[in-house]
Structure 1
């Protein structure tokens, strides 16, 4: 019997085809080898699995439901749109799925502290939540621009007991937060675990975060079959690093009739520095310890990027996304800032659900696709987070529409 895709990818060195691997400084080789060894042991450990199941059911509130977006579907005309409601996961996004597991791993490794980067603040809030639950110290690095933009999440992290450290160099956004977190982690590797917030970074994190997020996909598959008695025609999620997308894709990756579409941020234009569409415009390159598709400047360095969604303005993408796209198993969709804001308001006013700006990219693309593929088709969107964190920023910069659509 042949192995499933998830069982056979990545290879033992963390490669998905030519993408992935671990390009790390010598002081981190041993700590990352220890993390890999412990994870391989833990993922099949009945005690670990039981603890994670308990936490997900009795603390996180899993399984999250799938909602049929009837009003949005009627507005768009065409395919039926369904939403996997990760906004209802405790702390408001999908991020807690891997954060709770990563903090359990940290405890098993004897660590007393967790360190991470965050863009929109959802990963930072989730890790601070998990650290509080399990009694570990928490240090979160966040770009100075994002700290101002995502103020509600910064307050939440601090209330939860995290130490929030601003990244003040470069563009002061997600890439710089990752730089800052790595720099802080190196001298603390003996006592701390760097809990990477997406399916990026050196092996084993792209695999590990995908596995922890796969609960979204497996729940979705079972729920959708129960609701519709068939699989969706398309599964859509936004892609920055790509954890929410790999999470929901995991449940359908062996079902070749289900289209997998990762939606990248086109921001405000096609010029370098105006978007963060790494799969669309990037080329192969190593950044933050892994090889993937990457947006580069004229010197071959990571290019400046931009998106209205702070969680997806990253100049690279998870290596598994680069691989799936290259072999033709996944497709790329594009969404501008303007389209994301439109979807933000439409979902809010038609369905009573305020989405995160990142998730609104996936909703916007689903609205376009629904009109194209017809009423006998179905689309499942990973609504990866709620928009509480974004409301002040959106209203200040994009006035609330006066009437329902």
Structure 2
């Protein structure tokens, strides 16, 4: 369905079409654990999978919503795609949101090991959730995402998309201090498409 970007009503349409993700996750949490989760996490490029899983939980103020952006390989413009920490308000494709841009307002270069997170603008509803302090946005580096993907594959037999691996990395980072908490982590894609990148970054896979 594309990302949660563009002029109104397109971000709203994408959110409403994707909210089935959160509705199903909510129902499954109640069925499997008998309660709602403490935290919901999702990777954020333009933000479609994240807004889809967040939206049905927005009214539940006790549930933490955490979006994970691409921290890439450094903090300079062109080395990451972390709009919330490295960007500023700007307009792109009809959306006013947080944008990676230079001092003259030109759209900045981005980088991520994951193509799906490698984008200069974040969806406007995520900007609103951030500004209202309803959702938190952090970043995971390329290295952290790759390590998280490897760990999930080895422990659960699931090869995640590199996009999703950023959210998995944040869950792994937080888990030791959140004993007993219930997480929902949106593994929003399969890693089949990323096999060549995994092999390039994990030479041990070919040994």
* TM-score after normalising by structure 1: 0.50
The question of whether the paired residues in 1 share the 8 Å contact of 2:71 and 2:141 is answered with yes
Match of residue 364 from structure 1? 169
Q: Alignment partner of 2:57: what SS?
A: coil
- Structure 2 residue 132 is the aligned partner of structure 1 residue 327: yes
Match of residue 396 from structure 1? 200
Within a 5 Å distance, the mapping from 1:206-217 to structure 2 comes to 206-217=11-22
Rounded Cα–Cα distance in structure 1 between residues aligned with 2:185 and 2:166:
10
Match of residue 199 from structure 1? 4
Match of residue 234 from structure 1? 39
Within a 5 Å distance, the mapping from 1:152-301 to structure 2 comes to 197-301=2-106
The question of whether the paired residues in 1 share the 8 Å contact of 2:161 and 2:194 is answered with yes
Rounded Cα–Cα distance in structure 1 between residues aligned with 2:175 and 2:157:
20
Match of residue 377 from structure 1? 181
Rounded Cα–Cα distance in structure 2 between residues aligned with 1:371 and 1:280:
25
Task: Give the length in aligned residue pairs.
Answer: 206
Q: How far 1:250 sits from its partner (Å)?
A: 1.2
Q: How far 1:286 sits from its partner (Å)?
A: 0.5
The question of whether the paired residues in 2 share the 8 Å contact of 1:220 and 1:251 is answered with no
The question of whether the paired residues in 1 share the 8 Å contact of 2:199 and 2:205 is answered with no
Within a 5 Å distance, the mapping from 1:97-112 to structure 2 comes to 99=1
Q: How far 1:392 sits from its partner (Å)?
A: 1.4
Q: Alignment partner of 1:400: what SS?
A: helix
Q: Alignment partner of 1:307: what SS?
A: coil
Q: Alignment partner of 1:284: what SS?
A: strand
Q: Alignment partner of 2:19: what SS?
A: helix
Within a 5 Å distance, the mapping from 1:18-97 to structure 2 comes to none
Q: How far 1:253 sits from its partner (Å)?
A: 0.9
Rounded Cα–Cα distance in structure 2 between residues aligned with 1:199 and 1:385:
17
Rounded Cα–Cα distance in structure 2 between residues aligned with 1:223 and 1:251:
13
Q: How far 1:229 sits from its partner (Å)?
A: 0.7
- What is the CA deviation profile of residues 103-130 of structure 1, one whole-angstrom value per residue up to 9, with x for unaligned ones? xxxxxxxxxxxxxxxxxxxxxxxxxxxx
Rounded Cα–Cα distance in structure 2 between residues aligned with 1:400 and 1:248:
35
Q: How far 1:401 sits from its partner (Å)?
A: 6.1
User: Which consecutive unaligned segments of at least 5 residues does structure 1 have?
Assistant: 1-98, 100-196
Q: Alignment partner of 1:292: what SS?
A: strand
Rounded Cα–Cα distance in structure 2 between residues aligned with 1:360 and 1:254:
27
- What is the CA deviation profile of residues 136-162 of structure 1, one whole-angstrom value per residue up to 9, with x for unaligned ones? xxxxxxxxxxxxxxxxxxxxxxxxxxx
Of residues 98, 102, 112, the one that matches 1:307 is 112
Q: How far 1:300 sits from its partner (Å)?
A: 1.0
* TM-score after normalising by structure 2: 0.97
Match of residue 34 from structure 1? none
The question of whether the paired residues in 2 share the 8 Å contact of 1:265 and 1:335 is answered with yes
The question of whether the paired residues in 1 share the 8 Å contact of 2:164 and 2:189 is answered with yes
